Amino acid sequence: MESLKELTILYAEDESTIRMLTDRMLSKRVKKIVSVENAEAALEAFDELNPDVLITDLEMGGIGGEELIEMVRGKNTGVKTIILSGSDEADHSGQADVFMVKPINKKRLFEVLESFAN
């Protein structure tokens, strides 16, 4: 888990409670996390932060998670991506490196982040 301390994460989630709890969980283990409430804010933060990992909700008001990933990959093709969805039946066309269903399985999330860090 020590390699997680090198990761910078940008997290886009429109549900404030989920965003706060996930931010709190990740902030204890990673170098830096910036949490934002929508894709537009994520795009603004992306250039300044240049994160190693983008974690995004699939369904947000306005720009959705898959479109956000497409946009940031145009800026940085090396960024690793995770899409979160409230439904395991969501159409996830493969934009993201990893698809995860909410509620987030902490063990699985940390395993994925660890794989990204190595």
pLDDT at 24: 97
Split into its structural domains, the chain has a count of: 1
Query: What DSSP string describes 49-72?
Result: H--SEEEEES--SSS-HHHHHHHH
Average confidence score pLDDT of the chain: 92
Instruction: Provide the CATH number for the domain around residue 27.
Output: 3.40.50.2300
To the question of pTM greater than 0.75 for the whole model, the response is: yes
Range of the domain at 54: 2-117
The H or E element containing residue 8 is strand 8-12
- The set of residues, in sequence order, having a beta carbon less than 8 Å from that of 88 and lying 6+ positions away, is 101
Strand partners, 11: 35, 55
| Cα–Cα nearest to 10, from 50, 54, 40, 44 | 54
Give me the mean pLDDT over the 91-99 stretch. Answer: 78
pLDDT above 70 (res 107) = yes
